[in-house]
Amino acid sequence: MKLRHFINIFWVLLLVSCGQEPQPEPKPQELELKKTEYSILPGWQQDNHAEAYKAFLLSCQKVKFAKGEFLGASQIKINRIRFVQLCEQAQTISPDKFKSFVEDNFDPYLVLYQGSSEGKFTAYYEPLIRVSKTPDDKYKYPIHAKPLDLIEFNPHDFDASMPSKRLVGRIKGQKLVPYYSRAEIAEGQGNIPVLLWADSFVDVFVMHIQGPALAEFEDKSQIRISYADTNGLKFKGIGSILLQNKELKAGEASMGQIKKWLLANPDKALQYMNQNSRYVFHQLIGATGPLGALNTPLVAGRSLAVDTQYIPLGALLWLDTVKPDGTPLQRLINAQDVGGAIKGAIRGDFFWGSGGDDVLQQAGQMNSKGSYYIMLPKQEKNNGKKD
């Protein structure tokens, strides 16, 4: 590629990523880790720890082959060699021995940020979406694959003083420009491959928010759809859009209520949906469950999306929060996914499972206060401060 082409791409991306002059990204404040005992973990004795065994082994598969100390550029560092040793030991036990295994080999630490252990926990799920391989009057809403002309760029690769940030765009002439927005893609702009055709534009939109989906054909055969990439543009939640336009009242913006409103108001729905410029591209997979950021199947009720600035992928956590109905949600889980809206030191998105509107009603209503504990291999030093 010509030098001028590189220079054009570089300066366009500086403008895209920073607006004007590039500014260093703020450094996240440090966590505090407070060592505790299993005997005082809320709900520890009541959990079915064997259910977390499968998720732990799935994490182990990826951590074993990870480069560096551990997965994710998080503040908490876990020695990968020691963790892999424990993974190998875990493979020799039965699921019913997993509780004792964790107690014998890990110490629990309460995660605090700015002196508080309280954070926010939401939930997501794998929606069921009805599809066809060919379009017709019923199946007319495209599920797009990742475009071949989507270009990835990191300014740090060209200048070490620039922030390391993944940006995407497309080539227009000899310049790299932002990729097509949701509205532009809805208008048919771009030569974007179609994986399947769905019977509901609302279900496709919900899938863009949730990430994965379970696609079902008319003969009841199924295939999984997984996240592949995005157009790189800013995400704006449909709930906040509807609230700003006074289509919903405060307290009515659960995912189930939002979906009902979108279906009942299709013309307005398309207008508001296009105000979220972010567009998600997908891929077909043959996995036994939806794939998370570790590229392993998520386990219903045992996988959590986290902010990897703070919590490393693959880490074992104890979650202490409540379900939408107020009943305790206290269980052993694994940090196996990320999410565009999952930002913060004590922030998690609980993977509820797969299904239709019944699962949506549960997962979509979750917005709970809570805390979590990270399980660290015994006698390991970590970057977080400990009491």
Q: Which of 339, 15, 17 is nearest to 166 (CA)?
A: 17
Residue 380 pLDDT more than 70? no
- By mean pLDDT, which of 2-6, 154-158, 356-360, 383-387 is the weakest? 2-6
Q: What is the pLDDT of residue 18?
A: 39
For residues 197 and 227, which has the higher predicted lDDT (pLDDT)? 197
The predicted model gives 255-273 an average pLDDT of 90
Mean pLDDT for all residues in the chain:
86
Q: Is 72 left (phi over 0), alpha (psi -120 to 50) or beta?
A: left
Tens digit of pLDDT for each residue in 289-335? 788 888 888 999 999 999 999 999 999 999 999 998 899 999 999 99
* Residue 251: partners with Cβ closer than 8 Å, 6 or more residues away: none
Question: pLDDT value at position 69?
Answer: 62
The more confidently predicted of residues 20 and 115 is 115
Rounded to an integer, the average pLDDT of 359-385 is 78
CB atoms within 10 A of CB 361: 16
Q: Tell me the pLDDT tens digit for each residue of 19-43.
A: 344 444 455 568 899 999 999 999 9
Categorize the per-residue pLDDT at 14 as very low, low, confident or very high, splitting at 50, 70 and 90. Answer: very low
Whether the per-residue pLDDT at 265 is higher than 50: the answer is yes
Per-residue tokens: 106: 């890990």
pLDDT reported for residue 30: 80
The pLDDT of residue 165 is: 87
